[in-house]
Amino acid sequence: MPTEGQHRELTERFMAPFAKQGPGNKVIGIDAEGLIQRLLLFDHCIVPTIWLEDIQLLLRIVEPEALCELMDEGAISFYIDSSTAAETGQARSSLNLTGNVTRLNDNEFSFSTIRSANEAQSVKAAISNLARTEGVSKASAFSVAERVEASMLEPKGLQILAESFKAFRGDLRTEDPTLIRNLIARRLQLLGAKPTRLEVKVEEFVQEDFRITSNLTTFFGLSSLKAREISLRALLDLSSIHIRLAHMREFSCLLGMNEDEQNPWEMKVDALVRTFAHESQRDRQFFRVAKIAGLGERQLLAGGTLDLRRLIKLRHSEDIARFKDWLKRSDGKSDEEIRDQVSSIRGKIGNAVQSTTGKSVRLMISTLIGAIPIPQIAFPSGLMFGALDSFLLERILPRDAIVSVLGREYPGIFQK
């Protein structure tokens, strides 16, 4: 848990731009009043500057020496980062990229990081331009530029975006599409539509490529391009939230946001609360499933010892990860459905075949078959058995994580 001092540091550091941008991200003005308010309310302000063009405008309306004094006492620092997140699914086929360059359909999306080729050189040029600000004496402009350079935070765009993308894609991969639906519904409302009957499904059909299936065209009568625009804006809203969270963690600060950005943020907070509330039910869900499976708590805890090595092995297994995913959805399953899955003969056979003993038996059979000459077959019969063996395991008798955990691994921890 953060200490009181760490909490204070976080709440006394504030990060927000004060540049006003026009078409092409050109700086057309500054929110001088907003900057002054932040400097009054917070001990330290981090300014994500637009290549110092906003600082040039500020320099023309303040006393340069006073601005230097603010920087000297650690009240303000600056951050330039040319890295940005972008949806590239429909453009990547024409870009000089490696890997997947398939052009996506209107309801499919892929997000990538875009970075300036010469970031360090561009920052250096921006500082040089600041030192030559028109309307300000050379000595004063140079003093400001010198201090701005000294208080410039290290660009960490790629690191921050990588962290935010991991969380962003995690939201897209969740089986509950409520948050995505709510973000799309908000975009519909901004168009004047009532999203009460909106249906949304999200799937990752190729690694890091996501498809949104909705009734935006069939029920709301939107064109595929308009539906894409709404879905994309909703996804960018979500991406922006995760980028903000990553910045907050990286710089230990609060972030400012305008009213348009506030609503998606509040939706994400609601989703987090729902997730935490749902995850807190994990104990209850497990004991319900265990009881249905015939693993009563008294039966398991009645004397004996605990095999913690087996517990450790289970904690790091793929089975427990799959079991947890299944457990989250168990509230939507009837007792009969759970009982059927836990007692699945097919699953038990699959687990038995893939057990250590089963592997030994299959290896012995494979060796014996490989030693038998079969004239009609031009390749070793052991190889044929290997192919059959793989097909059997992967398609006919796959391993069932639920049966494995409840039927063998979990009870095996409690030794009599």
249-287 per-position pLDDT tens digit = 888 888 877 767 777 877 777 766 566 555 557 777 887
In a domain, 92, yes or no: no
Closest CA to 235 of 326, 157, 165, 150: 165
By mean pLDDT, which of 29-38, 154-163, 384-393 is the weakest?
384-393
pLDDT of 2 reads 45
pLDDT of 297 reads 53
In a domain, 271, yes or no: yes
In a domain, 97, yes or no: no
pLDDT band at 3 (very low <50, low <70, confident <90, very high): very low
In a domain, 96, yes or no: no
Same domain, 12 and 75: yes
Q: What is the average per-residue pLDDT within 339-364?
A: 53
Same domain, 208 and 239: yes
In a domain, 89, yes or no: no
pLDDT of 344 reads 57
For residue 371, report the phi and psi dihedrals to the nearest 5 degrees. -85, -10
Same domain, 16 and 44: yes
Same domain, 1 and 149: yes
Q: Of 256, 280, 304, which closes a domain?
A: 280
pLDDT band at 402 (very low <50, low <70, confident <90, very high): confident
For residue 50, report the phi and psi dihedrals to the nearest 5 degrees. -95, 80
Query: What is the residue range of 11's domain?
Result: 1-83+106-154
Same domain, 270 and 236: yes
Same domain, 193 and 311: no
Q: Of 280, 305, 332, which closes a domain?
A: 280
In a domain, 239, yes or no: yes
pLDDT of 278 reads 59
pLDDT band at 61 (very low <50, low <70, confident <90, very high): very high
Asked whether the predicted pLDDT for residue 397 surpasses 50, the reply is: no
Same domain, 273 and 288: no
pLDDT of 219 reads 93
The predicted model scores a pTM of 0.63
User: pLDDT averaged over the chain?
Assistant: 79
pLDDT of 350 reads 43
Same domain, 258 and 289: no
Q: Of 280, 296, 322, which closes a domain?
A: 280
Closest CA to 210 of 114, 113, 112, 115: 112
pLDDT of 4 reads 46
Exposure class string for 46-70: b at 16+ Cβ within 10 A, else e: bbbbbbbbbbbbbbeeeebeebbee
Task: Please check whether residue 83 is in contact with residue 114, taking contact to mean a CB–CB distance below 8 angstroms.
Answer: yes
